[in-house]
Structure 1
Amino acid sequence: MESFFRMILFLFCFVLIVRVTELHATRDECQPTKCNHHTIRFPFRLKRQQQPENCSYPGFELPCIDKNQTVLELSRNVKFLVKRIDYRAQGIQLYDPQGCLARQLPNNLSAFPFPDDSDQPQKYTIFNCSGEGQMTERDESHAIPCLSIQGFQVVALPSDSTEVANLLNCTRTLLNISVTQTFKGMLYDGTKDVQLSWEKPNCRRCEVEGRKCRLKKNNSTTEDKTECYGPSKKERDRPKKLMATGIILGSCLLGIIVFALYRIHHSYKANKEGQLKIENFLEDYKALKPSRCSYADIKRITDQFKDKLGEGAYGTVFKGRLSNDVLVAVKVLNNFRATAEEFINEVGSMCRIHHVNVTRLIGFCADGNKRALVYEYMPNESLEKFIFVARDEDRFLGWEKLQDIAIGIAKGIEYLHQGCDQQILHFDIKPHNILLDQNFNPKISDFGLAKLCSKEQSAISMTAARGTMGYIAPEVLSRNFGKVSYKSDVYSFGMLLLEMVGGRKNIDVTVESTSQVYFPEWVYNCLERGEFEIRIENKGHANIARRLTIVGLWCIQWYPTDRPSMKAVVQMLEAEVDSLTVPPNPFGHVNGVQTTSVNIPRKPINRELEVIFE
C-alpha cells in the first residue's frame, strides 16, 4: 500500500506543476476582451478599456454600445456595426445598422483609420429632383433609394461629371461629400456590407505562428513597430496535453487502486470465510483428525523451509524431521491457488484412509491463512521420475517391479472406492501423484480434488471438470459419454498403465510421427505388433507388458459402462495373460487400413447410473 500512496503523491505533484506552468503561460497584460460574440484584441481595443499603450494601435478603438454591439466610428457622426473581424487576413467587415449610408454623411468619408493610397476619395454632389422633371434611365441608376420619396428623387453624381448639366428639374443641394471607392457601392445600396483592411500594424507573421502581437516597448523610432510574443499554438497546447495525460494516468491509477482494494477486501473476506469453514470442519471431525501443528511448528520441522522437494500448482513440498527423528514431507499450500475446500477435501479424505498403498497424513496446520499438510516421507519420490526417462538412462525399474507397482496402485484405488465408510473419488490419478517408499511400494497421494459420496450411489454431479489433461475421463468433459462416477478414476488409472508400458506421457508433442500423436492408438498398435519402446528381455517381460497394456486399454474405453471396476482390474492384473481378452479397437480401422483420426463409436449411452450430489 505504501507504493500506492507514493504514486498518488507523485501524480498530485505532477498535476500541480503542469497547472502552475499553464497559469504562468496564460498570464498576459494584453488580455483579449469580448463584446457580443466578437473577440477584441490587438490592434483593436474596447473604448475606455484600461490597457498598456502597446496593447492597441492608435485610432483602433471600438465602442461596445448598450445593446452589446461592437461599433466602428469612422468619424464623429459616421458609425458602422462590426459583423466580423479577421485578424489573420487583417480585415474587418462592417454594415450600416440603418441601411442608409448617405444619411450618415454630413461632410465626407475621407478620414478613417484604414488609409489606402490606391483608394483616393471622390467628391460627390447630391441633388433633389422633383417627379415632374425628365429623368433618363441612367439618371435613375444614380438614385439613393433610402433618401427618395414619392415625387422626389435624390440623386448622387460625381461633382466633375458632365451629366450634372443634363439634369432637368433637379435642385442642386448644398451637400457635397467625399466618398472612397470602397464605400461607393454602399452609397447607392446601404444594405450592402463593406470590407475594410489594414496594412499597419502588420501582425500576419504572428497570426501564422499562432502567437500574439503588440507594439514594441521602448521603441526609439518614430515608426510604430510590432513584435510577436507568447507561446505558439503548439506550445500552448502542450500543457493541455500534459494535463490530459495526467488526468488519464490519474484515472488509470485510481482504477488500479480501487481494483487492488477490491481484491484485498475480497481476498481478506475469502480467507476469513475459508478459515471459518476449516474450523467448523475440524470441530466436526475432531475424532478422526491427526495431530494439529502451529505454523511455528511447521517452520521448526522443516528447518525454516530449508530442503525443498518439489513444487506443484497448489503448494510447495519441503523435507522435514519430527522430534523423534521421523522424516516427513510437508506440503505448504499456496494461499492464492489452494482454497479452503481443497484443504478440507484433503484432510477429510486422508482422515478416513488407512491403507498400505495410500500416503498417511501425520499432521496438518491451519494457523490463520497459513495451511500445511504433514505426510510420511517417500524417499524415492514419484513414479513419474522412473517411467518418463530417456532410453539411455539406467533408471528402469524392471517389468516385475512395474507390475507390482500397478497392482499396488489398483488395490489402493479399490480401497478408496469400496474400503472406506464413504466412497472416495480421487479425480487426479497420474504418475506424479504416485509416491514410492524405500522399497518402491506405491502410495497414492494428493487428495485436493477428491470427492466423498455414498457407496450406495453410482454417479456424482459436478459443476466443472477437474483433473489433469490427458488423464480426465471423457464423461468429465462431456456428459454425452455418460455420468461421472468411480469409473472416471478407472480411466485415469488406465492412462497411467499405458504410460508405464509406453515409457512416455500420453500427451507428447515431441513425437516424430504424427501417427503417434494420439497415444492410446499408438499403444494399441504396439500391442498388435508385440513391440514396446521399453526393452523386453524375455517372454515373461513380454507377458507383463501385454497384460498391463490389455488392462489399460480396457480401462480407457470411451463409455463408463464398458470399463471394469477396480476390483475386476486387480483380478485382471493378477491373472494369466492368456486368460485376458483384448478389447475392441476404438481408434479407427477402416477396411483393414489404419487411420490416424479417432472415430468415437456410435453407441447408446447407458443412462441407468443415478446422479447424486457431492
Structure 2
Amino acid sequence: MIRRQESPVPSTTLFSVLIFILSTEVEARFIPHGCSRSSCGDIEIIDYPFRLKTDPPGCGETVFQLSCENNKTILEFHSGKYYVKQISYDDNRLRVVDFNLASGSCSLPYKSVSVDEVRDDHHYRLVSNTYTSFIKCSNNLSDQAYRLLPCLSGNGSSFYVSYDNYIISNLQGPCSFISRVPTVYQTVLFPSFDSILQLMQTGFDLEWSIECWDSSFSYDCYKSGNYHPPWFAAFSMTWNVLSAIYLVGRFILAPIGIFGFLIHKYMTTKKAIDNEQRFLRRQQHSMPRRYSYSDIIAITNNFENKLGQGGFGTVYKGQLRDGFSVAVKMLDNPKCNDEDFINEVSIIGRIHQVNIVWLMGFCSEGCHRALVFEYMANGSLDKLLFSREAERHLVGWEKLLQIALGTARGIEHLHGGCNVCILHSDIKPQNVLLDNNFIPKVSDFGLSKFYPEEKDFVSISTTRGTIGYIAPEMISRNLGAVSCKSDVYSFGMLLLEMAGRRNSNSKGNCSSELYFLSWVYDHLIERADLQLENVTEIEAAIPRKLCLVGLWCIQKAASDRPSMTKVVEMLEANVDDLQLPPNALSFPQSISKEPQSDSSTELLISDTVEQSL
C-alpha cells in the first residue's frame, strides 16, 4: 500500500511569506520616509537621512539632526558647532566649517576635536586625516611649521598654528596643546598663516553612512574601511529574528501550547454543572437580596419607625449595616406560596431605572412576607400637592415639570423597557415618591399584572385603581380592553392634578374635578390666561403644557391617547408646538377628589396580587 505524503508547499509558502515580511520591515528602515524636503539658507535641499529640529517627528533620523540659526544650517558634532556649507547626497558627504572659523578671521576653534571620538563615530567619518593644531608657548618658536597667531599673542605668551597631522612633536621650549580642528588636505609644505586661515575657512568633509546605524557591525564598519550594503544588514537582522523565533517557539511556546491543550481537554471532559444549579447561580446575581425575618427585625430596629399603613401592609423605615436607609413593607395576610412570591420578586428586582423605585431585597420566611425598597426622603407627590410642604421646599413650576417628565419616563420604562410589559394600573400622586433631590420614582408597580410585550391588550377580572384616576375601560368592558393606554389615562389625570393643585384661582373650591377640566379646556380654547399668581411668562407656559398633555392623555377612546413615549416627547417639546386635543368630557364619569392619607408615603403592592397572597 502506498502511503500518502503531505505536500511541503504550505509550510514552504508560510516560511517564505514570513521571511518576506521581516525583510520588508527591516529594509523599510533604510528607505527614506515620506516627508517633504526642508531648506535653510544656502542649503536648499535637506532630505533623508537629515532632518531639521523643526521637522515633524518621524522625518529623517534623529542622529542626523540639523538646526537652522540665522538662516545658517548648523551641525552639532561631538559637542562642536559647525556651519554646513554643502550636502552631497550622491557621495554621502557634507562640507562643514567650525563656527568660529567660518568668517576667516583670526580665532580659536569653537571646540577642539578629539581624534579618538571621531575615529570611533558610528555615523560620520573624516574624509581626510589632516588637522590644524593650536599651541601656546611662553617663548617664541623659530620652526617654520608653526605660524604665529598675532591676534592672540601677547603678554608674554605666543599662540601658534600648525597645519599637519594630529601628532604634535619637535616642540621647542615650554609649549602646550590648546585645540585642534580637521582641515581639508592640501599638498603644500609649511603653508603661510593666511593660507592656513583660508584652509580652515574652507572647512572639512564628513562622510555619513546609514548602513552602520544600529548595526551589530557598527564598531568596526568605519575603522576597517569596509562598508556593508543594506541587504547585508537586512539579511543579518532577518536571520537573527528567525533564530530568536525558532528558539522561543521550541522552548517556550511549544510547552505552553501543550500545557494549554491538556487544560482545555480536562475542562471539556469535566462533568457539566447541573442545569438547575446554574440557573440558581444566575438568579442570585439578578435577584434582590433575600433577608431572613430576623434580618428584617434588625433592619427596622424591631419595627420602631412606622412610615405608613395601607390596606395590604405597613411600611417601616430601616437602615442596612452600611448605613443605607431603606423602606420595609410588611405584607399582611399573605396566602401565596414561597415559590410564586419569589418568582414575582425576581421579575420586579430586574427592573432598574432612575425613575422607578429600586427593590433591594425581600423576605419570605414562614408566614412573613416583606419587601425592602430604597428610602425616599421627601415622601410622595401627594404631600407636595395637598399640603404646605411645597411652600417649605419652594418647589416651583420648573421643578414640577421635571417631576412630571421623570414620572413619564418611569412609566414608559415599565411599558417597553423590560423583558415583560408591565401594566401599573394605579398611577396617582401617592405612588410617585421623591428622593432627596426631588427626583420622582414610580412605586406600587410591583406584582402588577404582566402580559407579553407583543400583545396589545390584556383583560382583567378584578378592577384595580383609584377613583379619579382610573380609566373608563377599567370600569366597563363596553368601553374597551385594558391596555397600557389605561396607564396613560391615569397619568393624564395626574398631570391635571399637578396643574390644578398649584392654581389657586382655577375654581379649585368646586366639589367636582369635572368642573375644573371644563374650565381648563375653555381657557385653552380661548388661549386665555390660566389666572396664575406671581409667575413669569416662562413659568406660565408650564401649567399650560401640563394641561394640554393631560387632556390628550384622558381621551375617552384608548386609541386616541398617545403612548408614554409620545407623552415624554410632548413634555419635552415647546408648548407652542402642542395642539389642543378634542374635548375629553363626553363621558359621564365623576372625578372626585382623593382625600389625603397618611399612607401616601408607603410603597403599595398590587391589589390584585396581594388579594391572592
Q: TM-score, normalised by structure 1?
A: 0.46
Q: Tell me which of the two structures has the higher relative contact order, counting C-alpha pairs closer than 8 angstroms and 6 or more residues apart.
A: 2
